[in-house]
Structure 1
Amino acid sequence: MNDWDLRKLRLLRALDELGTVRAAAEALRMTPSGVSQQLAVLSRELGVPLLEAHGRRVRLTSSAHVVLRHADALFAQVERGRAELEEHRRGEAGEVRVGAFATAIPGVVIPAVERLRSSCPRLAVRVREAEAAEVYDLLASGDIEIALSLAVDAPASGDARFTRSSLLADPLDVALPVHHRLADAPGLRLADLAGEPWIYGDSGPWRDITLTACADAGFVPERAHVAADWAVILAMVGAGLGVALVPRLAAPRSGGGAVIRELPADRPRRHVVSAVRAGAEDRPHVARVLRALGEAAAGRG
């Protein structure tokens, strides 16, 4: 049996609904002979008689009615396919894979996914945690469509492979032990902590961000302990081992015996960016997820 031709099946459906070849031909803007020829071809393709003489007219055979039952299911599936393709065209359906560093996921990505669940339930967002050293390789290879990273980790703005956009300026707060002499001090400034033992990583972007923020405040922090995991850093601060800068995306208002204080006079920040493969920002479903990420980031302001 050959593939079923939807155009010929629609002729058969029209004949069944309208009763005569002439009426079907008029409705479909064809000639009666054209309709008859196409239905004869369909009968040969399917290998069963579809029409039989009934006085001066023709009527559908029992085989034709079996064909139509299945044809109606095909017509409905085609309509569902058209509707889904239209949703894809508008960016309302499909799948977008997002790679992001750990602290951006609960702070930005998850709120964006929750927004999209309500506004675009047929648009699936797949999330993958990845550090910056990996996330741009994943983006370049096509394993993800959107990458979130710190600006200091992103490729140079002149890299023609990617289109970058600023997403969020994440404030840096300072974590102090609960009983620290400055835990409740009004108008706390970063320079007030110049003589304290500091906790930060041995390498990587967070070390650079900490050193830069402290340099802007006029001092070089004395590193007493090395740690990179935020839960570990907060636990060490809570134990009185030192102080640390903590991005607001990463830190609760308090935790592990640490007090989190804002630094409104200094206003240190780390900058989060999104990136896509150049040109992909115009794809409707990618653009929709980028908008949701931007709205989630703006909601943290």
Structure 2
Amino acid sequence: MKPFAYVRPERAEEALDHFAAHPGAQFLAGGTNLVDLMKLGVADPPLLVDIAGLPLDGVEETSEGGLRIGATTRNSDVAAHPAVRTRYPVLSQALLAGASAQLRNAATTGGNLLQRTRCLYFQDTSKPCNKRVPGSGCPAREGVHRDLAVLGHSAHCVATQPSDMAVALAALDADVHLRGVTGERTVPVTEFHRLPGDRPERDTVIEHGELITGVTLPPPPRGSYSAYRKARDRASYAFALASVAAVLTVEDGHVERAALAFGGLAHKPWRAREAEEVLRGAPATTETYERAADAELAAAEPLRDNGFKVPLARNLVVSVLHDLASRAGARL
């Protein structure tokens, strides 16, 4: 590991000042991803700004009836929080599916959103990778890509975003709150992560020196049910081959509202707008769910070895929607 400096500020302003003075600095909270990348030689920040001690943790009710989750709140605390479990089960389920108890006890909300891809070429510094070294190439397109993207990828990158939590937040229409030296701003989580385009080295829209301070969830739609389902290579903790986060409201046997997001299929959590449009106002039936999934996945462009992800994601959508509608008392 290369030498680096370390500071532990007591105030957010102090953390931002340290970061601004060191162009290559990185914030550290749980360190469950960043420390691994440093060990691999993928990341070599000259300064780590430890924000774990800043007053940015906790889960609080908002005046609108939603929740605010602080950036340094541990994943285990979010997953176990009574308000999350009862009102936003899709989020609790996604966090529990995402990692072991040991990792959840260390990982934070902000760090979870910022975790980097697990593409083998990105993690191997002996290989070219446009995400790690812009312009060096993307060997994954013709190489090992079974786990990689089928939606929204580009000639420059086919990596996937690994966060389970972020997929649930996308279906919940959450907002990410950022603070920098020039002020504060709020970004919808559906716009926080980027598709690769010709700048795959940029995972998110966050600017250098900006700090995630928290995430807010709007009130859950009245009468809605939600769930997260994940397909992976082994039953123990592994990254998603495909996953689905769904929030569904059914009224008189018809879909009143649906929000869907895919994980494991793209460079960002993929909000399934086409599927939602098909579902809205349609009968809550298996045929409707199949048509909705097909409408969304028509845009898929599988590579040589990952075409199985398309029917896998389709089956996950149909299964989750069927179960949620059954819970809502819909006639199928």
TM-score normalized with structure 1 length: 0.21
Greater CA radius of gyration, 1 or 2?
1
Higher strand content, 1 or 2: 1
Higher helix content, 1 or 2: 1
TM-score normalized with structure 2 length: 0.19
